[in-house]
Amino acid sequence: KAGVTQTPRYLIKTRGQQVTLSCSPISGHRSVSWYQQTPGQGLQFLFEYFSETQRNKGNFPGRFSGRQFSNSRSEMNVSTLELGDSALYLCASSPGQGPNTEAFFGQGTRLTVV
């Protein structure tokens, strides 16, 4: 069974640009969550999508948005990039319902804003 796939693995963008990150969850999983990881703030929850609907949202500005497609693949978009958006962005895949509670993570996308 294929794991969680995040693309691209590395990205360099200029301040003010926008960026789109992609996450393909494990087959059959309907929940996709996004996390930002920085040395200073640690791992912070961005949002969770389940069956194409945002089910939960963290405390991030509106520049951070996401969506989920009918095949459960998810994209995350950051507009008007700031230097502080440089981080490792992790995507987690889960069944989304039922007793199985495990979240499986992708290898992340390392975003550098210059």
Partner 1 sequence: AQTVTQSQPEMSVQEAETVTLSCTYDTSESDYYLFWYKQPPSRQMILVIRQEAYKQQNATENRFSVNFQKAAKSFSLKISDSQLGDAAMYFCAYRRRGSNYKLTFGKGTLLTVNP
Q: Which residues bind partner 1 (CB under 8 A)?
A: 31, 33, 35, 42-43, 45, 48, 50, 55-56, 58, 88, 90, 92, 94, 96-97, 101-108, 110
CB of 76 to partner 1, least distance (A): 15
By C-beta, is 79 or 105 nearer to partner 1? Answer: 105
Neighbours of 95 (CB within 10 A): 18
CA–CA distance, 55 with 86 (Å, rounded to integer): 25
Other C-beta atoms closer than 10 Å to the C-beta of 109 total 21
Residue whose CB is less far from partner 1, 59 or 70: 59
Nearby residues of 105 by Cβ (< 8 Å), 6 or more positions away: 4, 90, 91, 92, 93
Q: How far is the CB of 80 from partner 1 (least distance, A)?
A: 25
Contact status, residue 49 vs residue 68, Cβ threshold 8 Å: yes
Instruction: Select 14 or 53, whichever has its Cβ closest to partner 1.
Output: 53
Whichever of 71 and 107 has its CB closer to partner 1, that residue is: 107
